[in-house]
């Protein structure tokens, strides 16, 4: 998943739980889903057929943690 020049420690981290979690999420996604917005809790927050950055940022800005960050 990481480039050829990646730090071996990073590879170990990715090869562990994160890679497995992402693979599980992708296996649960629908075939027409091309973009998944995954929250910090690991849940799928949005499924989109294409990349719409404005829509993604709008959805992120509406999330409770992001709203709290913006108030600080």
Q: Are residues 5 and 25 in the same domain?
A: yes
Q: Are residues 24 and 52 in the same domain?
A: no
For the chain, report the end-to-end CA distance as a whole number of angstroms.
35
Q: Are residues 48 and 65 in the same domain?
A: yes
pLDDT in tens, 9-26: 444 444 557 778 778 877
31 or 46, greater pLDDT: 46
Residue 14's domain comprises: 1-30
What sign has the CA pseudo-torsion 18, 22, 39, 28? negative
pLDDT in tens, 41-61: 878 888 888 888 999 999 999
Q: Are residues 22 and 39 in the same domain?
A: no
């Amino acid at each position: 998943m990481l480039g050829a020049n990646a730090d071996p420690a990073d590879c170990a981290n990715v090869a562990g739980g994160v890679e497995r979690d992402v693979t599980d999420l992708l296996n649960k996604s629908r075939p027409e889903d091309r973009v998944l917005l995954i929250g910090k809790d690991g849940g799928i927050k949005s499924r989109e057929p294409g990349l719409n950055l404005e829509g993604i940022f709008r959805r992120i800005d509406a999330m409770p943690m992001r709203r709290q960050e913006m108030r600080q």
